[in-house]
Amino acid sequence: MEYKNNPIHAPGLIGRLADLFWRRKWLLLLLMLLPPLLWLGVIYIGSLLALLVQSFFSIDEFSGLINYELTLKTYKELLVPANLDIIIRTVSMAAAVSLAAAIVAFPIAYYAARYARGKWKALFYLGVMLPLWSSYLVKVYAWKLILAKEGILNWLIVKLHLSWLLDALLATPVIGGNSLSVSYIGTFLVFLYVWLPFMVLPMQAALERVPINYLDASADLGANPVQTFRNVILPLAMPGVIAGSIFTFSLTLGDYIIPQIIGSSRLFIGQAVYAHQGTAGNIPLAAAFSVVPIVIMCIYLWMAKRKGAFDAL
Amino acid sequence: MTSAVELHQVSRYFGAVRAVDSVDLAIEEGEFFALLGPSGSGKTTCLRLVAGFDSPSQGEIKIFDKPVHNVPPYRRNVNTVFQDYALFPHLSVGDNVAYALKIRKVDKATRQKKAEEALEMVQLGGLANRRPAQLSGGQRQRVALARALVGQPKVLLLDEPLGALDLKLREEMQEELKTLQRSLGITFIFVTHDQTEALSMADRLAIFNNGRIQQVGTPENIYHRPQDEFVARFVGSSNVLASSELAQLGIQAESASLRPEAVQLVTNGGYFAKVLAKSFLGSAIRLQLALFPGGDSQLQSTPTNMSSKISPIQLSALVDHSRAELNVGDTVRVHWPEGSLHIMRVSSSISTGEL
């Protein structure tokens, strides 16, 4: 008996292509990877290199024209107190946000990884992702209203007779201010809220991969829950924490909208880049500012690796 | 002698499933005790209850006469070797072994020394700096053993520790575990579904089925005097004879067990039997026999009308290679020594005895 589409018979075009890919497996891989590689290689790496090159140019203070000779002059300008302040402010904020996000995210991620099943797991994903579905700007402006002096949070605090606590908090030098919406505390809270999902999800994924057996084994060997957390759970979840903090840290380092809408009027790196490449026309300094987060992230990852954060991978 | 571990009417329910059902057990100090049963029979759950990873729904567990109802696993002086070893992947082999000591805040130098000693005990000296992932399955098994023993527990629990090893390695480890247990003198409680393993290693064993203990005893006792059909069939292979078959042999009893190796081929006397099948097992030959207690006349009758009369007794027998010339269809005479047919139930009431 003969079948018309018997695969043993002479193949058509698709069949022949399939045969070719079967014989030369690298060919299919190359075809699939070529577009993203081109994209990454030319557009992404290319523009990054262009940025790097720009940062080694300088600006002529009198004419405002760019001097295309390679120099470290622009980088020296970064170390001017006003600019250094911006860098320190941004890095401190990014570090504080990442640390707080890790602390807030951990119980959520742990619950989701260890206990949530079926319906509750779906609810967890929904709850974590839902804020990401609405516009970032809408959320930030909503927070401005929440944190404003006439906002709902202040109203609640007054009702709870806790105004003295808020006033004391706002009276703190540097991080305080007239109201939450114009203080660093406000900026911090909004950053924390906006980037939290980026910490919860990788953490949950990492915790999910820690077998319950390891926790049993740790307890069996005499470790109480705190010791088990320190010696087993945390080290094994560390790649997830690092992955999450890469998001929260770099997103905070680069953001220029939240500090503009909420917080004091002092600049963050993103705002400095925006200002220098726009109105000021100082492209080299803007480029040099942009290199700062890249360098900081490289140092951060290098330190994390040295500390053994990726040993569990 | 004190009991190392005592279970009194212990049950563990998961919903409607009775994973462990009213188990009574007393394991003596210094004993090598095996919990043997098919998968899902409750033996591992039992071990987890003793370790403290799970709590009984009912009943009481005592470790060295102390009730452990509210004692968390980290306060029990028992350690476990897990089925999949559960070695911490982020720690070196040495740090894995020293874990219990680190938790007890033993200083680093002592810790390392003790870990190295423990590794030497399981013949893995010098591997302290490796990662668990760099070791073979057999080596990981030994690391798990060293890790569990380094804290000098009074009871060591082993959850199918040899299950993932290949046969050769498993036999080697059985020897080693036995030697280790004797030299340390601590109680080993060993969960396995492998009856050969349990019989060869344990001082005593408990046979589990459906969450219940069917029988507790020494390997010899359980092998030669199984209490019921389940034990007879699960431990070794056995010919379990029902009352109608026993009646043909002139025995009044509900059921009895006859080990295949007890069935002998003789030149005269005994019963006539026909060879139904023959299989080569390496160390022996197994014959599937149809036994005709009625004698030669019954044997001569054709197979078709045989079924309408009294059916023959099916028996399997282990014979040595001198009988390799036997073929399917051949007629032989079989006999078994006095006492090898073990009566498990004398008419419906449960009791044991020998014939």
Render B21-61 in DSSP notation, one character per residue.
EEEEEEEETT-EEEEE--TTSSHHHHHHHHHTSS--SEEEE
pLDDT in the model for residue B190:
93
Q: Answer whether 0.90 is exceeded by the pTM.
A: no
Pairing of strands B17-28, B3-14: antiparallel
> For the residues B96-109, what does the mean pLDDT come to?
94
Query: What are B234-249's pLDDT values in tens digits?
Result: 988 888 888 888 888 8
Chain B residues with CB-CB distance to A213 below 8 A: 82, 84, 86
Scanning A39-68 for CB atoms below 8 A from B yields: none
Tokens of B116: 């190295």
Question: Cβ distance B254 to B346 under 8 Å?
Answer: yes
| Beta pairing partners, A211 | none
Q: How far apart are CA A297 and CA A48, in angstroms?
A: 15
Q: Bridge partners of B25?
A: B7
Q: Do B86 and A216 touch (CB under 8 A)?
A: yes
Confidence of residue B216 (pLDDT cuts 50, 70, 90): very high
Phi, psi torsion values for A146, nearest 5 degrees: -65, -40
Going edge to edge, which strands form the sheet with B331-335?
Answer: B264-266, B331-335, B271-280, B285-292, B313-319
If you count DSSP H runs as helices and E runs as strands, how many of each does chain A have, helices first?
16, 2
Q: Which of B268, B266, B235, B265 is nearest to B342 (CA)?
A: B235
Dihedral sign of CA atoms A229, A233, A235, A237 in order? negative
Separation between Cα atoms, residue B225 and residue B209, nearest integer Å:
17
DSSP assignment of B196-222 equals HHHHHH-SEEEEEETTEEEEEE-HHHH
Cβ contact B213:B206 at 8 Å: yes
Across the interface, of A216, A219, A235, the residue whose CB is closest to B90 is A235
Cβ count near B84 (within 10 Å) = 14
Inter-chain residue contact B80 with A223, CB threshold 8 Å:
no
Cβ-defined contact of A222 to B103 (cutoff 8 Å):
yes
Q: What is the pLDDT, as a whole number, of residue B112?
A: 92
C-alpha separations of A221 from A159, B39, B52, B85, B100 in Å: 51, 26, 12, 13, 5
Among chain B residues, the shortest Cα distance to A237 is held by B90
Radius of gyration, CA atoms only, chain B: 25
Q: What tokens does A300 get?
A: 């951060």
Long-range contacts of residues B165-168, Cβ cutoff 8 Å, at least 24 apart: B165/B137, B165/B138, B165/B141
Which helix (H) or strand (E) segment is A175 a member of? Answer: none
pLDDT at A312: 61
- Calculated CA dihedral for residues B319, B322, B328, B334, nearest 10 degrees: -50
Q: Is the Cβ of A308 closer than 8 Å to some Cβ of chain B?
A: yes
Are A177 and A170 in contact, with CB atoms under 8 Å apart? yes
Query: Which chain A residues are within 8 Å of B84, Cβ to Cβ?
Result: 213
CA distance A124 to A115: 11
Predicted-complex ipTM score: 0.82
Of A75-89, B57-71, B286-300, give the lowest mean pLDDT range: B286-300
The pLDDT value recorded for residue B322 is 84
- Give the residue on B whose Cα is nearest the Cα of A212: B86
Give CA–CA dist B32/B181, Å, rounded. Answer: 7
Look-up: residue for tokens 């359980």?
Answer: B222
B227 touches chain A (CB under 8 A): no
- Between the alpha carbon of residue A178 and those of residues A143, A160, A172, A184, B74, the distances in Å are 16, 20, 11, 11, 52
Residue A46 to residue A29: CA distance in whole angstroms: 23
Mention every residue, 6+ apart, whose C-beta is less than 8 A from residue A285: A59, A74, A77, A78, A276
pLDDT for position B354: 42
How many Å apart are CA B144 and CA B82, to the nearest integer?
Answer: 7
Q: Residue A68: count other Cβ atoms within 10 Å of its Cβ.
A: 12
Candidate from A211, A227, A311 with C-beta closest to B90: A311
Under an 8 A CB cutoff, do A217 and B88 touch?
yes
Instruction: From B301, B281, B280, B282, select the one nearest B292 (Cα to Cα).
Output: B301
Please indicate whether, in this complex, the C-beta atoms of A232 and B100 are within 8 angstroms of each other: no
Order across the sheet with B58-63: list the strands. Answer: B17-28, B3-14, B58-63, B66-67
| CA closest to B146 among chain A residues | A221
Tell if the CB–CB gap between B74 and A223 is shorter than 8 Å.
yes
Contacts of B82 in chain A (CB under 8 A): 213, 216-217
Helix/strand/coil for B235: coil
Could you say which DSSP state residue B134 is in?
G
> Is residue B9 pLDDT above 80, yes or no?
yes
CA distance B113 to B4: 29
C-beta separation of A169 from A153 below 8 A: no
Q: Provide the strand spans (E) within chain A.
A: 58-59, 66-67
pLDDT value of residue A311:
67
Residue B52 contacts A where some CB pair is shorter than 8 Å:
yes
Phi, psi of A209 (to 5 degrees): -85, 0
CA angle B116/B117/B119 to nearest 5° reads 65
**pLDDT on residue B165:** 82
Tokens matching residue A302: 């290098």
The overall average pLDDT reported for chain B is: 87
For an interface test with B, the pick among A213, A221, A226 (most B C-beta atoms closer than 10 Å) comes out as A221
Nearest CA in chain A to B51: A220
* Interface touch A221/B103, C-beta < 8 Å: yes
- List, for chain A, all residue ranges whose pLDDT scores fall below the cut of 70: 1-9, 311-313
Chain B 244-263, residues with CB within 8 Å of chain A CB atoms: none
Interface test with B, best of A207, A210, A220 (most B CBs within 10 A): A220
pLDDT in tens, B327-344: 888 889 998 988 888 888
Angle, in degrees to the nearest 10, between helices A136-147 and A184-208: 130
Mean pLDDT score, B317-336: 88
Q: Are B177 and B191 in contact (CB under 8 A)?
A: no
Phi–psi pair at B19, nearest 5 degrees: -70, -40
Closest CA to B193 of B157, B235, B133: B235
All residues of chain B having their beta carbon less than 8 Å from the beta carbon of residue A211 are 86
Main-chain dihedrals φ then ψ at residue B21, nearest 5 degrees: -130, 105
Residue from B30, B34, B33 nearest B2 by CA: B30
Residue of chain A minimizing CA distance to B156: A220
Contact at CB, B99 and A221, closer than 8 angstroms: yes
- 11-40 of B, contacting A, C-beta below 8 A: none
Between CA B277 and CA A187 the distance in angstroms is 84
Element (H, E) at B313: strand B313-319
What pLDDT is recorded for position B304? 45
